[in-house]
Amino acid sequence: MLPSGPTLRHVLVVGVDGVRFDLLGPDTTPAIWALGRDGFVAPVVIDASTPTMSGPCWATIVTGTGVAGHRITGNDLTGHRLADHPDFVTVATRAGLPTLLAVSGWPPLALPQDGGPMFAEASRREFVAVAENSMAAWDEADESITRLAAGILVTDGPRLSFVYLGAVDAAGHLAGAGDVYRAAALATDRRVGRLLAAVRSRPSFAREGWTVVVVTDHGHLDRGGHGGREAEVATAWVAAAGPGIVPGGPSLVTRQDQVAPLVLAALD
Ligand SMILES: [Zn+2]
């Protein structure tokens, strides 16, 4: 049970694709690490019935139901049962809350492509396409969506926002989990920091009861790629802080299907 706050609660969820748990640290991902200090950061082992792919993992994270419910087993979402298991942005939007969906690079999250969109409804929907499958193009798309989302967070302060950044996963596929991958993770962490700074810069921030969640879908092999059950691939993670989350306290999430309930509970 969350303590009641003076005003309406707000939640920002940042989805960072394909960031290995063993990469997190005070130097490698300082903003995410600091968020963990303010609340918790914890590994989340992907359920054995869930392919370690973005489609099924994100679907479980944002709906709170597993593959048996949403029926998404790959990155083509065709045949999904999301109408029976809507994502948390759609649930909040249907409850009348102002929401934001801001996605970089991967169409089926936000657009009617490849069986999408995974997110059915949002008050405001932003998508920045990736011009080509290169690190420069992914970096540019993540940068654009971060700038756009930060501006909306400052001016509008939606009750629930989901911002998706894809450059780290792209780096893993293009170059393996080496220097390029670590550089992409640090750039992504700085973008997470900017989104957090945008929230904290709101004049009404102290009264708004913000919960911030940063979450990944799966990891990567050393050589790049995922889909199997290796520990570095099948270990995802969640970091979160906000009202009702005790700093340094127990992790409130040990499974991917516990993220959506945490998000919706934080909205009170
Ligand atoms: Zn991937």
Q: How remote is the CA of residue 217 from the centroid of ligand 1, in Å? A: 9
Average pLDDT (38-46) is 96
Q: What Å distances lie between residue 180 and 32, 136, 168, 172, 186, CA to CA?
A: 19, 11, 9, 8, 10
- Nearby residues of 24 by Cβ (< 8 Å), 6 or more positions away: 32, 33, 36, 41, 237, 239
pLDDT tens digits, residue range 21-38? 999 999 999 999 999 999
Say how many Å lie between the CA of residue 40 and the centre of ligand 1.
25
Q: Is the pLDDT reported for residue 260 higher than 70? A: yes
The predicted structure's pLDDT at residue 192: 98
pLDDT of 4 > 60? The answer is no
> What's the token pair of residue 28?
């490698």
Ligand 1 centroid distance, CA of 99 (Å): 26
pLDDT given at position 3: 46
Residue 1: the pLDDT is 41
Query: Is the pLDDT confidence value at 118 over 60?
Result: yes
How far is the centre of ligand 1, averaged over its atoms, from the C-alpha of 226 (Å)?
Answer: 6
| Average confidence (pLDDT) over 174-203 | 98
Ligand 1 mean position, distance from CA 215 (Å): 15
- CA 137 / ligand 1 centre spacing (Å): 16
DSSP assigned state of 218? -
Distance 205 CA to ligand 1 centre (A): 35
The alpha carbon of 254 and the centre of ligand 1 are apart by a number of angstroms equal to 22
pLDDT tens for residues 216-233? Answer: 999 999 999 999 999 999
Taking the centre of ligand 1 as the mean of its atom positions, its distance from the CA of residue 55, in whole angstroms, is 10
Report the pLDDT value the prediction gives residue 250, as an integer from 0 to 100.
85
Ligand 1 centroid to 24 CA: how many Å? 18
**Could you tell me the end-to-end alpha-carbon distance of the chain, in angstroms, rounded to an integer?**
9
pLDDT at 5: 46
What is the distance in A from the centroid of ligand 1 to the CA of 51?
12
**How does pLDDT run across 57-114, given as a tens digit for each residue?**
999 999 999 999 999 999 999 999 999 999 999 999 999 999 999 999 999 999 999 9
Q: What pLDDT does 17 receive?
A: 98
Instruction: Say how many Å lie between the CA of residue 246 and the centre of ligand 1.
Output: 32
Q: Is the pLDDT of residue 6 over 90?
A: no
* Phi, psi of 266, rounded to the nearest 5 degrees: -65, -25
Single-letter amino acid code for the residue at 44: V
| Model pLDDT, residue 209 | 94
pLDDT of 119-166, one tens digit each?
999 999 999 999 999 999 999 999 999 999 999 999 999 999 999 999
pTM above 0.85, yes or no: yes
Lowest pLDDT segment from 25-34, 148-157, 169-178, 246-255? 246-255
Nearest to 160 by CA among 123, 197, 190, 188: 123
- Average pLDDT, integer, range 179-189: 98
